[in-house]
Amino acid sequence: MEDHIQNIKQLLKRNKFPEVDSMFELPSSGSGRIYFRIFFEDTSQPSLLVSFNGNVSENIAQYSFTQHFLSKGFRVPEI
């Protein structure tokens, strides 16, 4: 688990996000996907919901569904 947290923090840093203030694991719901809510020291930056899943085919499916729903005008979380 600690590896996932460090990887997420490194990804945020590489993409110029502010320093992480706190990160909380959220309850899972049936899949292997792990969710985190991230809050930043700079409170003007909205919090993020981050999901991690080592199953590549599930990640591709989630991305495909998101793109499909966006193309139909649905409001979905940004990937």
10-residue block means of pLDDT along the chain (79 residues)?
85 94 88 90 92 87 92 87
- What phi and psi, each to the nearest 5 degrees, are found at residue 48? -120, 150
Specify the pLDDT at position 32.
80
Give me the residues paired with residue 52 across strands.
34
| Residue 42: per-residue pLDDT | 94
Q: What's the pLDDT score for residue 1?
A: 65
Q: Compute the C-alpha angle 15/53/10, nearest 5°.
A: 25
Compute CA 1 distance to the chain's CA centroid, rounded to the nearest angstrom: 15
**CA–CA gap between residue 69 and residue 54 (Å, rounded):** 23
Q: What is the pLDDT of residue 74?
A: 95
Domain spans, the chain? 2-54
Whole-number pLDDT of residue 30: 76
φ, ψ dihedrals at 76, nearest 5°: -130, 160
CB neighbourhood size of 44 (10 A): 6
